[in-house]
Amino acid sequence: MDKQVILASNAGFCFGVKRAVDEALEVKRQHPGITVYTLGPLIHNSHAVNFLKDKNIEPMELGNIEHLKPNDFIIIRSHGIPKDIYEYLKEKKLNIIDATCPFVTKIQKKAEEYYKKGYKIIIVGDGNHPEVIGINGWCNNSSIFYKNGEFSEELPNKVCVLSQTTEKQENFEKAIQYVSKHCKEFVAFNTICSATNERQTSATELSSKVDAMIVLGGKNSSNTTKLYEICLNNCSNTIHVESAQDIPESFLNGENFKKIGITAGASTPDWIIKEAINKMNNENVMDMNDVMNYMDENERKIYVGQKIKGIIVSMNNDGIYVNINYKVEGIIPTTEISIEEVNSFKMGDEIEAKVIQRVNENGNVVLSRIEVEKEVSLSELKAHFENKENINVTIKEEIKGGLITTYKGINLFLPASLVDLYHVDKLSDYIGKELEVSIIEFVEGKRENKMVVSRKAILVKEKEEIEAKAWENFELGETYEGTVKRIANFGAFVEVNGVDGLLHLSEMSWGKIDNPKSILKINEKIKVKIIALDKENKKLSLSVKALLENPWNDICDKYPEGNIALGKVVRFASFGAFIELEPGVDGLVHLSEISHKRIEKADEMLSIGENVKVKILKVDKENKKISLSIKATE
């Protein structure tokens, strides 16, 4: 039976370590005659370190940096360094290439920020680890360390808890549990790199299924050592080697090992894993020149505007970190994730995003989900336009001439004249509302896209459909409920079942009305009667008066001759004054019946709006006339 070699699903750091190697080799390419120094070995692998030494790239310990001269090149490895060392390098005027892991940089910034706020910094991890030493240097080397279930000193009341990136999750949780019980005020940031847990989980699963296990990585790498301990616990035939050259013959030729697993630590480059797999399969082992060529050939090309897929490896307040199979991870900032999507992603999900910056200040590729959504939305909008389909948009803001609306992240223009059927006085009332609109213009341009929508077009169509149905059902003389839409000097337009009808001033009341606004309001619901119907020309005449009792019907019963009544002066004539007894019923007081005195004009004794007592002299129902006398009441 042939030997089967299985690689753990999460192993190594892919191209992460290549970032530092590339920086060093690029400096050498530009300055071939100099020595490039690195603060500690860039790679936890003796073969790779020796290869770099051959290229005149030398590792240097912190204690020897005083020997560096101005303009010397120094590379800071992924573990990072204390702040005072960083400042010292700057003071020496060295050429600094900072290859600190972006995750570690963020922890350093947190340590510095909360130290300045008065918090005591707690670091869950090994106080002697280079990464932890570096972090501690950003809070004046005053951190408390939590390791193996113990704190290095007594805890104060106010603390900030951070973690080494490669620490176990359970240790971080134990530290938090203790702090929550013994400190009055604390903040905590889970700064464990998610790749560590995933790597350990896949190593656990694989080592329990194979006959033998190979763990690749530096002997002085705590991350790799933990992987070795995990695998050894599940598989007694587990070895820890730095490279393919160190794999013993017993593993290569052992007949008892039919199924062999391989995993690698976080600092193990992809090419070292490839090299080991080749050797286990009796293929040629690459030399270091082949290795660098392999790395270059397999390096992903990144350009702005590129759509790229990757796996979510970490999530925090800054955004989502994505393994994009590149020498650095991609980050999708929270500002580049829509509100609708912000809570929909989880660790391990595959995600598609668009490159908007090849490298930021932390060395990450900056990605955007919003730009991908916009591209999808733009395609949807084009399809809706071509198929003449309506869409729902949200009103975003008011601008000159109309409103800006949004459809899944895309802005569209809604002209003021197309917002409603009628003129809109206050466009700002629509902000925040969701409206159904149709796309009436869609132009894709190199600089910008032009998209215009209309709500009026939909309303017009709806109104036409409603009106057509209404005209079929309207009947002369029937009563309907209507809504006052517009008011003019001559009357009001009332919408009945979607159709505008005219309520003339003369049909509003039996009484005289000078101004329709005195009795009607916009959007007021009123009962009206159809008094004229022209379906062919679509004209509708309405009346409120027709629904009211004619006050002259029983006029003789209501106003018997010889009785005294109270009325109101409503207008004057050359021959007297008209007194309103009730709306629609006016009587005339002749000049001779106003006063016992001789007067030339009615306004000598009376005023418009004045209430007066009158005696009913004569009622002519047929001609709708009533003769009154003020004089006779005295």
Same domain, 408 and 423: yes
Residue 596 annotated in ligand binding: no
Does a structural domain hold residue 634?
no
Does a structural domain hold residue 381?
no
In this predicted structure, the answer to whether residue 289 has a pLDDT above a threshold of 70 is no
pLDDT of res. 15: 47
Does a structural domain hold residue 532?
yes
Q: Which helix (H) or strand (E) holds 222?
A: helix 222-234
pLDDT tens digits along 18-59? 667 777 888 888 888 888 998 888 776 666 777 788 888 888
CATH number for the domain that contains residue 613: 2.40.50.140
Residue ranges making up the domain that contains 258: 195-296
CB 124 within 8 A of CB 160: no
Residue 223 annotated in ligand binding: yes
What tokens were used for 28?
A: 């050498």
In this predicted structure, the answer to whether residue 14 has a pLDDT above a threshold of 60 is no
Residue 314 annotated in ligand binding: no
Residue 590 annotated in ligand binding: no
In this predicted structure, the answer to whether residue 307 has a pLDDT above a threshold of 80 is yes
Distance CA 291, CA 562 (A): 125
Handedness of CA 252, 254, 258, 264 (dihedral sign): negative
Q: CB 133: neighbour CB atoms within 10 A?
A: 20
CATH number for the domain that contains residue 29: 3.40.50.11270
Angle between helices 288-298 and 18-30 (to 10 degrees): 110
pLDDT tens digits along 502-532? 999 888 888 778 788 888 999 999 999 999 9
Q: Where is average pLDDT lowest: 14-18, 31-35, 367-371, 415-419?
A: 14-18
Same domain, 430 and 480: no
Same domain, 306 and 292: no
Residue 236 annotated in ligand binding: no
Active site residue 375: no
Residue 101 annotated in ligand binding: yes
Q: Which residues pair with 97 in a beta bridge?
A: 75
Confidence class of residue 284 from pLDDT cuts 50, 70 and 90?
A: low
SS3 of residue 412 by DSSP: strand
In this predicted structure, the answer to whether residue 338 has a pLDDT above a threshold of 50 is yes
Question: Residue 600: phi, psi to the nearest 5?
Answer: -95, -35
In this predicted structure, the answer to whether residue 2 has a pLDDT above a threshold of 90 is no
Among residues 372, 398, 430, the one where a domain terminates is: 372
Distance CA 10, CA 223 (A): 14
Same domain, 495 and 526: yes
Q: Where is average pLDDT lowest: 62-66, 237-241, 368-372, 414-418?
A: 62-66
SS3 of residue 558 by DSSP: helix
CB 572 within 8 A of CB 608: yes
Confidence class of residue 200 from pLDDT cuts 50, 70 and 90?
A: confident
Q: What is the pLDDT averaged over residues 556-584?
A: 91
Does a structural domain hold residue 567?
yes
pLDDT of res. 287: 53
Does a structural domain hold residue 137?
yes
Same domain, 184 and 219: no
Q: What is the pLDDT averaged over residues 165-192?
A: 89
- Amino acid identity, position 609: G
Does a structural domain hold residue 2?
no
State the DSSP code for 148: T
Among residues 402, 435, 459, the one where a domain terminates is: 459
Same domain, 182 and 250: no
Residue 592 annotated in ligand binding: no
Q: What is the pLDDT averaged over residues 212-235?
A: 88
130-134, 311-315, 516-520 — which one is most confidently predicted on average? 130-134
Among residues 547, 563, 590, the one where a domain terminates is: 547
Q: Which helix (H) or strand (E) holds 263?
A: strand 259-264
Q: What is the pLDDT averaged over residues 293-314?
A: 73
Residue 267 annotated in ligand binding: yes
In this predicted structure, the answer to whether residue 581 has a pLDDT above a threshold of 80 is yes
pLDDT of res. 248: 86
Confidence class of residue 228 from pLDDT cuts 50, 70 and 90?
A: very high
The total number of structural domains that make up the chain? 7
Does a structural domain hold residue 168?
yes
| Helix ranges restricted to H, 281-345 | 288-298
Does a structural domain hold residue 9?
no
Which percentage of the chain shows pLDDT scores above 90?
A: 37
Catalytic residue among 131, 167, 336, 593: 131
Residue 165 annotated in ligand binding: yes
CATH number for the domain that contains residue 179: 3.40.1010.20
Strand order in the sheet with 150-151: 150-151, 144-147, 120-124, 158-163, 185-188
Q: Where is average pLDDT lowest: 100-104, 173-177, 202-206?
A: 100-104
Same domain, 614 and 566: yes
What tokens were used for 156?
A: 């104060």
